[in-house]
Amino acid sequence: MSLFGKILEKLGFSRPVVQAAPAAQPASAAPSAPATPAAPAAVTVVDVMAKLEGMAAASREKLNWKVSIVDLLKLLGLDSSLAARKELATELGCPAAKMGDSAQMNMWLHKTVLQKLAENGGNIPKELLG
């Protein structure tokens, strides 16, 4: 399971509606007939804010998940190491220029994870998306 998939699972999303990043087709793959688009699935709203605030209240650690990707991952009980964050950033399509600077990558990653949660039906306040 992808790291973003694990985030969705921890927050109670049934399955991702929005893909994290399009999968690249191998260069050697023969062209195939275009896939028939699936019918759009209904988006179920997940109360991400209530879940995260509840987890934070129950945590022994003071985690600033609203601004820190490391704290958000810790709160969800996921690996928050630099290697894991780089893997998640790659999965979500982080620009190469930001990948070389962990601070820029972390800021991009936090914003992108929250945006992707919102795209999948999570109730993320606009002030956290900006």
CB 79 within 8 Å of CB 58: no
CB 72 within 8 Å of CB 88: no
- 85-121 pLDDT, tens digit each: 999 999 999 999 999 999 999 999 999 999 999 999 8
Q: Could you count the other beta carbons within 10 Å of the beta carbon of residue 17?
A: 15
Strand, coil or helix: 23: coil
Q: What is the CA radius of gyration of the chain?
A: 16
Cα 39 to Cα 96: distance, rounded to the nearest angstrom: 34
What pLDDT is recorded for position 1?
Answer: 78
pTM exceeds 0.85 for this model: no
Strand, coil or helix: 81: coil
